[in-house]
């Protein structure tokens, strides 16, 4: 009996087409979002990380080409990027820097924006569609929980997410929590737009 190793699944590993990107970019510009870090979003990311007990959390706005972490919590506490605890780091090698910008084909948030639904990946390696994403091998991400930020116009502006370098059993409670926090942040953005904050 012979064994055929699995072949790459091709399109399953690609970032989905984002037909709403031009409209999203116009909306983000009107709101003044997605071009600079903001202390309020960093504080929100800190809160996300604390609630989920994870090393990384983000408030992420996405355009046609990249993701921008307007809010970022990382283990180094700077909010300007961090160094995940990958196997390379354990061997003394320097892991890659994670900063405020990431290409659209890295990570899982672009999938959340296109799907317009929360995404729970307790162990990304269990999902062929996501296991081949560059953040798995290059950054060491093993677990993801994210929800879209859908504003009053119906546009998915971006996401909030938490990630870990170990598999995590998020469960129903994690899903409900991330969705509730996304709704809370959308309310803050809308109050800001109306001059409330």
The number of domains in the chain is: 1
Both tokens of 99, joined, read 């900063």
User: Which residue segment(s) compose the domain that 150 sits in?
Assistant: 13-193
| pLDDT reported for residue 132 | 85
**96 within domain boundaries:** yes
Q: Retrieve residue 16's tokens.
A: 């989905």
Query: Does 6 fall in a domain?
Result: no
The stretch 158-176 carries a mean pLDDT of 96
Report yes or no on 152 lying in a domain.
yes
Q: Are 164 and 143 in contact (CB under 8 A)?
A: yes
Helices (H), the chain: 21-31, 39-52, 87-90, 109-115, 128-131, 134-138, 171-193
Sign, Cα dihedral of 181, 129, 137, 104: negative
Confirm whether 2 is domain-assigned: no
| Strands, E assignment, 74-142 | 101-103, 119-121
Q: Is 8 a domain residue? A: no
- Is 45 within 8 Å of 72 (Cβ atoms)? yes
**0.85 exceeded by the pTM?**
no
Inside any domain, residue 4: no
What pLDDT does 7 receive? Answer: 37
The per-residue pLDDT for range 140-151, each reduced to its tens digit, is 899 999 999 999
Provide the CATH number for the domain around residue 49.
3.30.450.40
Question: Which of 46-55, 72-81, 172-181 is the least confident region?
Answer: 72-81
In a domain, 113, yes or no: yes
């Amino acid at each position: 009996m012979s064994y055929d190793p699995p072949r790459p699944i091709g399109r399953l590993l690609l970032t989905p087409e984002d037909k709403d990107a031009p409209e999203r970019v116009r909306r983000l510009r009107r709101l003044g979002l997605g071009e600079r870090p903001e202390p309020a979003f960093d504080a929100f990311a800190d809160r996300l990380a604390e609630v989920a007990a994870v090393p990384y959390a983000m408030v992420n706005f996405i355009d046609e080409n990249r993701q921008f972490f307007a809010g970022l919590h990382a283990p180094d506490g700077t909010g300007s990027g961090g160094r995940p605890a990958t196997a390379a780091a354990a061997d003394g090698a320097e892991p890659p820097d994670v900063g405020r910008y990431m290409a659209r084909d890295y990570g899982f948030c672009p999938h959340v924006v296109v799907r317009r639904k929360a995404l729970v990946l307790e162990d990304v390696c269990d999902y062929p569609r996501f296991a081949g994403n560059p953040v798995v091998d290059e950054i060491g991400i093993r677990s993801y929980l994210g929800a879209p930020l859908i504003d009053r116009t119906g546009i998915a502006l971006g996401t909030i997410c938490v990630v870990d370098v170990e598999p995590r059993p998020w469960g129903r409670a994690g899903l409900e929590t991330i969705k509730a926090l996304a709704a809370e942040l959308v309310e803050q953005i809308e109050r800001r737009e109306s001059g409330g904050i």
